[in-house]
Amino acid sequence: MTDRQRPARRIAVLATGGTIASRSTPSGIVPTLSVTEVISDVPVPDEVTVVAREIMRKASQQLTMADLRHIQDAVRQMLALTGEDAIDGVVVTHGTDTLEETAFLLDLVHDDERPVVVTGAMRAADSRRSDGQTNLADAIAVAASDQARGAGVLVCLAGSVLAAEGTRKLHTLRLDTFGSVELPGPLGGVTDGDVTIPLRRFRHPPLPPAGEAFDRVRVDMVMVFPGADDVVLRACADAGASAVVLLGVGNGNANDEIVSGVRRLTRQGIVVAVGSRAPFGPTVAMYGDGGGQDLVDAGAVMLHGLPPTQARVLLALLASQGLDPAAIAEALRGYTHPSPGRPPVWQ
Ligand SMILES: NC(=O)C[C@H](N)C(=O)O
């Protein structure tokens, strides 16, 4: 089909900052570009009208949970427009450092067939080989594509189209920094404006959107290392954490002192989820002697393949909606893989 034959599309571009909106300054790379500057010179197909809004102008390392909720609200407000203002798809431009968290929150609550595509850049806009314009043009093409309908929230960078769930930033500098930690990887790709999305990921029923309580709920992350003790776990409990994501060693292992600390937390009603320091592969209740089996016996939940950063967002959303610890743990198990009764990830 030629561009002329394609139906007209209104795509909202919501800018939040990040390197895609940044220039080099004497104090380092910082977001300085307005949304108009971010979209200027981005090639847009004839049938696409872009509606641009600036939600915030922040480096993603500065984002708070309240910011994530504001981005969620902005996307939902755009999708709620009707009549002549109605939108066919949304693109969110975002810093890449914490893009996986925002994209996953958007995906968890997305209750619409229309695509939401999150993109960013690894090189500043004033870099000679900046990737921002290509990534944004690709993301707009994906948001305008029928192939993206019903696919939930997608991440589009360096020509890859990935499901938000399971996607992680895997490299600190490479342009193709994002990868899916589940096989077979991306759902599809974009080449010179042509979108191909042959795969679909299993989608969970949408959760209620984050409300104000999400801004304040505390979910901590704690890493295991040789000689790790329970000091940080105690501090999490003292600070009022609702949940803790433990980054275990290997396939989700710890040591005796951490296991005791986890048992203390779960007995206090703090949900403990176990991911890994390793980027790929599931966490499993395989080892005793301070390992994953002991952590599960102490009341922890294995994340299997769900990235720890994304598990943290899910736990915050569930805790902010007033679920008790047992209900939070049960809901979390529905997102881990494999879990009883859950359909295969890929369809
Ligand atoms: N490439 C980037 O966007 C990294 C930047 N620090 C950010 O996340 O805002």
Which residue puts its alpha carbon closest to atom 7 of ligand 1?
95
| CATH code of the domain occupying 217-333 | 3.40.50.40
Q: How far is the CA of 311 from the centre of ligand 1 (A)?
A: 21
Confidence of residue 184 (pLDDT cuts 50, 70, 90): confident
Task: Indicate which atom in ligand 1 lies nearest the CA of residue 17.
Answer: 9
Could you tell me where in the chain the CATH 3.40.50.40 domains are found? 217-333
Measured between alpha carbons, how far apart are the two ends of the chain, in Å? 26
Q: What pLDDT does residue 337 have?
A: 66
Q: What pLDDT does residue 226 have?
A: 98
pLDDT exceeds cutoff 70 at 343: no
Confidence of residue 3 (pLDDT cuts 50, 70, 90): very low
Q: What pLDDT does residue 345 have?
A: 57
Confidence of residue 6 (pLDDT cuts 50, 70, 90): confident
Q: Give tens-digit pLDDT for 212-239.
A: 999 999 999 999 999 999 999 999 999 9
62 — phi, psi (to 5°)?
-95, -5
Which of 16, 19, 134, 283 is catalytic? The answer is: 19
Task: Indicate which atom in ligand 1 lies nearest the CA of residue 120.
Answer: 3
Looking at residue 268, the DSSP 8-state letter turns out to be T
Phi-psi region of 57 (alpha: psi -120 to 50; beta: other; left: phi over 0): beta
Q: List Cβ neighbours of 202 (8 Å cut-off, separation of 6 or more).
A: 342, 343, 344, 345, 346, 347
Q: How far is the CA of 86 from the centre of ligand 1 (A)?
A: 30
Residue 191: how many CB atoms within 10 A of its CB?
Answer: 9
Helix axes 325-333, 308-320, angle to 10 degrees: 140
pLDDT exceeds cutoff 60 at 273: yes
Asked if 119 is an active-site residue, the reply is no
Q: What pLDDT does residue 275 have?
A: 98
Q: Which of 201-205, 242-246, 334-338 has the lowest mean pLDDT?
A: 334-338
One-letter amino acid of 194: D
Q: Is the CB of 135 under 6 A from ligand 1?
A: no
Task: Indicate which atom in ligand 1 lies nearest the CA of residue 58.
Answer: 9
Domain at 3-196: CATH architecture: 3-Layer(aba) Sandwich (3.40)
- Distance (Å, rounded) from C-alpha 90 to C-alpha 95? 16
Q: Is the CB of 165 under 6 A from ligand 1?
A: no
- Helix, coil or strand: residue 241: coil
Q: What pLDDT does residue 340 have?
A: 45
Residue 105 is encoded by which pair of tokens? 């929150």
Strand ranges inside the chain, DSSP E? 9-17, 22-25, 28-31, 48-58, 89-93, 116-119, 153-157, 160-163, 167-169, 178-180, 188-191, 194-196, 219-223, 243-248, 271-276, 301-302
The three-state (H, E, C) secondary structure of 90-157, written as one string: EEEECCCCCHHHHHHHHHHHCCCCCCEEEECCCCCCCCCCCCHHHHHHHHHHHHCCHHHCCCCEEEEE
Q: List Cβ neighbours of 200 (8 Å cut-off, separation of 6 or more).
A: 150, 151, 187, 346, 347
Cα atoms found within 13 Å of the Cα of residue 257, Cβ hemisphere only: 11
As a whole number, the mean pLDDT across the chain is 95
Q: What pLDDT does residue 182 have?
A: 79
- Distance (Å, rounded) from C-alpha 95 to C-alpha 38? 13
- Helix, coil or strand: residue 74: helix
Sign of CA dihedral 51, 55, 58, 61: negative
Q: Is the CB of 96 under 6 A from ligand 1?
A: yes
Q: How far is the CA of 101 from the centre of ligand 1 (A)?
A: 13
Q: Is the separation of the CB atoms in 153 and 112 below 8 Å? A: no
Q: Give tens-digit pLDDT for 140-169.
A: 999 999 999 999 999 999 999 999 999 999
Mutational test site, ligand 1, from 19, 101, 123, 178, max ligand atoms within 8 Å of CB: 19
- Distance (Å, rounded) from C-alpha 70 to C-alpha 149? 24
139 — phi, psi (to 5°)?
-65, -40
Task: Indicate which atom in ligand 1 lies nearest the CA of residue 61.
Answer: 8
Asked if 32 is an active-site residue, the reply is no
Q: What is the DSSP string of 14-38?
A: EEEESGGGEEEETTEEEE---HHHH
Q: Is the CB of 328 under 6 A from ligand 1?
A: no
Q: Give tens-digit pLDDT for 94-134.
A: 999 999 999 999 999 999 999 999 999 999 999 999 999 99
Residue 296: how many CB atoms within 10 A of its CB?
Answer: 18
% of the chain with per-residue pLDDT over 90: 93
Q: Is the CB of 59 under 6 A from ligand 1?
A: yes
pTM for the structure as a whole: 0.96
Could you tell me where in the chain the CATH 3.40.50.1170 domains are found? 3-196
Q: How far is the CA of 93 from the centre of ligand 1 (A)?
A: 11
Q: Is the separation of the CB atoms in 277 and 331 below 8 Å? A: no
Q: Is the separation of the CB atoms in 272 and 262 below 8 Å? A: yes
Q: Is the CB of 179 under 6 A from ligand 1?
A: no
Which residue puts its alpha carbon closest to atom 3 of ligand 1?
95
Q: What pLDDT does residue 270 have?
A: 98
Mean per-residue pLDDT for 20-32? 98
- Helix, coil or strand: residue 201: strand
Q: Is the CB of 97 under 6 A from ligand 1?
A: yes
Q: Is the CB of 95 under 6 A from ligand 1?
A: yes
